[in-house]
Structure 1
Amino acid sequence: MKENQKKAWLFLAPSLVLITLFSIWPIIRAFLMSFQGGPLIDMHFNGLQNYKYIFVDPEFWRALKNTAIYAFVAVPVALVISIALAWFIFSKIKHTAFFETMFFMPYVTSTIAIGIVFRYIFNGEYGLLNFLLKAVHLPQPDWLDNPSLSLVSLIIFGIWSSLAFNIVILMGALRNIDPNYYVLANMYGASDKEKFWRITLPQLVPTIAFLLTVNIIGAFKIYTQVYALFNGQAGIGNSAMTAVFYIYNKFQIVGTPGVAMAATVVLFLFILFVTYLQRKLMKKVNS
């Protein structure tokens, strides 16, 4: 047994070294840098000054607020739409492989490329969205250049971009449900609505819990969508500033890596706390 343990550690060693080097050490390094000030090439210890700075910085709180609003709006809405679409494809359409491929294509497409397309869709003068709104005699707002609509545009973009992954995972979960449940339900004359609420949804709870966890963590780390949609900025007057964009701005643009790492640590703890609460909630729902 001891011999096998030694061999197991030997086989695990390369993976453990890579995980330590590229995952664990960066977390430790970020934590240490959060207590340092000065430029990246000449950092020195400055105690809690970086944390004091971010906690009184209104831009940091706005970034956290925007990130939280995005996460708690985009993730549930996208998940509900994904469940509805996956159930419709699974129950009503015969050749599901084609539709799965079509839905999954945006997931493997560059977010920057999709963001460029969405910039044209949201354009206030000649965008497709305003063209459709005009056709039904509705107001045509300036989606990207109106600070009050920047976060709304980002949420719409985020919902659309997360559907692909969700639908493919849900389709896999739907295929794993024992078909005998539906056979028995049909024998007793259950309606489609009853089959969904009493059979399908309870069977999907573990998958929904997984998707919620992954999507919430991804939503709190949103950066590429902001960069792509607003052409390298965080919206007009930083109206779509998110936590990771704030970190990027402080590290790369302003040149204060210590402040950026302090914000990183706070964001990490915040994600950890929200994920813990979400997992506890899903366990109660599952039980």
Structure 2
Amino acid sequence: MKQNQKRAWLFLAPTIIFVTGFSIFPILRAFVMSFQGGPLIALDWTGFSNYQYIFKDPEFWTAIKNTIIYALVSVPVALAISIMLAWLIFSKVKRKSFFETTFFMPYVTSTIAIGIVFRYIFNGDYGLLNFVLKALHLPAPNWIDDPSMSLTTIIIFGVWTSLAFNIVILMGALRNIDPNYYTIADMYGASGTEKFWRITMPQLIPTIAFLLTMNIIAAFKVYTSVYALFNGQAGVGNSATTAVFYIYNKFQIVGTPGVAMAATVVLFLIILFITFLQRKMMKKIGEQ
């Protein structure tokens, strides 16, 4: 038995070293750097000054507010649309593999490349979206250059980009539901709506919990979408700045790594807390 344990640790050693070197150590290093100031090559211990700075910085609170709004809106909307589309494909479409491949293509495509395309779609003067809105006699806002629309633009883009991963995972979960449930429901004359809410949704709760966790974490780490849509900026007047964009700006542009790491630690704690609450909530729903 002890010999097997030694062999197990031997096989686990490469993974443990990899995880420690590329996951645990950077977290610890970021925490230490959050108490240091100065340039990256000559950091000095400054205590809690970096935390005092970010908590007094209006730009930091704007970034946190934008990130929270983005997560609270984009995640449930994207998840609801994904469930609806996955159910329609699973129950109505015959060639499911073709649609799964089509929906999954954006996930394996560079976000920067997709963002550049969407930058032209969202263009206020000649963009496709405004062309359609004008044809329907609807208001056509300036999605990119209007500070009041910056966050809405990111949310729309975020919802679209998250559909691919969600739909493919949900399709896999739908295939694992025992078809006998639906057969018995048909015997008792259950409608499509009743089968969806009484059979499909309860079976999907573990998958939805997983997707909710992954999407929330991804939403709080949103950066590439902002960079791609606004051409390397955070919108007009930093109206689209997010927590990660704030960290990038302080670290790479301003050159204050200590401040950036302090913001990183705060963001990490926020994600940890929200993920904990979400898991508790989904556990209670699953027990009901």
What whole-Å deviation, never above 9, does each CA across 1:86-140 have from its counterpart, x for those lacking one? 0000000111000000000000000000000100110000000000000011111
The one-letter code of the counterpart of 1:88 is: L
Give the aligned partner of residue 83 of structure 1.
83
Alpha-carbon distance in 2 for matches of 1:139, 1:87: 32
Query: Which runs of 5 or more residues in structure 2 are unaligned?
Result: none
Partner of 2:132 in structure 1? 132
RMSD, aligned α-carbons: 0.4
Letter in 2 for 1:130: N
Quick one: which amino acid aligns to residue 194 of structure 2?
A: E
Q: In structure 2, how many angstroms separate the alpha carbons of the residues matched to 1:74 and 1:129?
A: 19
Shift of 1:159: 0.1
Match in the other structure for 1:55: 55
Amino acid corresponding to residue 162 of structure 2 in structure 1:
S
CA separation in 1, counterparts of 2:140 and 2:226?
22
User: What is residue 187 of structure 2 aligned with on the other side?
Assistant: 187
Distance 2:14 2:162 in 1: 33
Q: Which residue number corresponds to residue 201 of structure 1? A: 201
TM-superposed CA distance for 1:10, in Å, is: 0.9
Which residue number in structure 2 is paired with residue 249 of structure 1?
249
Report the alpha carbon displacement of residue 178 of structure 1 after superposing the two structures with TM.
0.2
Q: Which runs of 5+ in 1 are unaligned?
A: none
CA displacement 1:152-179 (0-9 Å, x = unmatched)? 0000000000000000000000000000
Q: Counterpart of 1:218?
A: 218
Distance in 2, matches of 1:224 and 1:194, equals 40
2:148 paired with 1:148: yes
1:119 aligns with 2:104: no
Task: Give the CA deviation at 1:145.
Answer: 0.3
- Partner SS for 2:144: coil
Distance 1:55 1:160 in 2: 33
For the residue of structure 2 that corresponds to 1:172, the secondary structure is helix
Deviation readout 1:249-282 (Å, 9 max, x if unpaired): 0000000000000000000000000000000000
Distance in 2 (alpha carbons) for counterparts of 1:13 and 1:174: 37
Q: Counterpart of 2:182 in structure 1: which amino acid?
A: Y
1:7 and 1:202 mapped to 2: Cα distance? Answer: 41
2:68 maps to amino acid: A
Counterparts of 2:78 and 2:226, CA distance in 1: 18
Residue 14 of structure 1 deviates from its aligned partner by 1.0
Query: After TM superposition, which residue ranges in structure 1, 4 or more long, deviate above 2 angstroms?
Result: none
Equivalent-residue separation in structure 1 for 2:183 and 2:12 (angstroms) = 46
Q: Which AA in structure 1 matches 2:27? A: I
1:102 aligns with 2:102: yes
**Partner Cα separation in structure 1 for residue 248 and residue 139 of structure 2:** 35
> Aligned residue pairs: how many?
287
TM-score, scaled to structure 1: 1.00
Distance in 1 separating the partners of 2:84 and 2:158: 18
Q: TM-score, normalised by structure 2?
A: 0.99
